[in-house]
C-alpha cells in the first residue's frame, strides 16, 4: 500500500500499518503538482512492483 500526504505524519501511519503486518510505504507529495504525482507513481511502482491506489477526498 502506498500512502501519500502533503505532510510528514503520513510516515507514522505507514509505520503503524507495517507494525501490524501490512506492507506500506509513505510518500510526501502535493498531488496537484504533476511532477510530484508522477514521481509518487514511479516510486510506488518501483517499491511494490504494481500499484493499487485508494483515495479519499475531504468533503
pLDDT tens per residue, range 17-54: 999 998 888 888 888 999 998 998 888 888 877 666 65
pTM for the predicted model, two decimal places: 0.70
- Domain that includes residue 28, residue range: 2-48
Q: What's the confidence (pLDDT) of residue 57?
A: 47
pLDDT range class, residue 16, cuts 50, 70, 90: very high
Beta bridge partners of 26: 3
pLDDT range class, residue 55, cuts 50, 70, 90: low
Residue 40 lies in a domain: yes
Residue 56 lies in a domain: no
Residue 30 lies in a domain: yes
Give the angle 32-49-19 at the CA atoms, nearest 5°.
85
Domain count, the chain: 1
- Three-state helix/strand/coil letters over the chain: CEEEECCCCHHHHHHHHHHCCCCCEEEECCCCCHHHHHHHHHHHHHHHCCCCCCCCCCC
Amino acid at each position: 500500500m502506498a500512502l501519500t500526504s502533503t505532510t510528514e505524519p503520513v510516515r507514522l501511519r505507514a509505520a503503524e500499518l507495517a507494525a501490524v503486518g501490512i506492507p506500506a510505504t509513505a510518500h510526501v507529495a502535493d498531488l496537484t503538482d504533476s511532477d510530484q504525482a508522477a514521481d509518487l507513481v514511479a516510486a510506488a511502482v518501483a517499491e511494490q512492483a504494481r500499484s493499487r491506489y485508494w483515495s479519499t477526498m475531504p468533503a
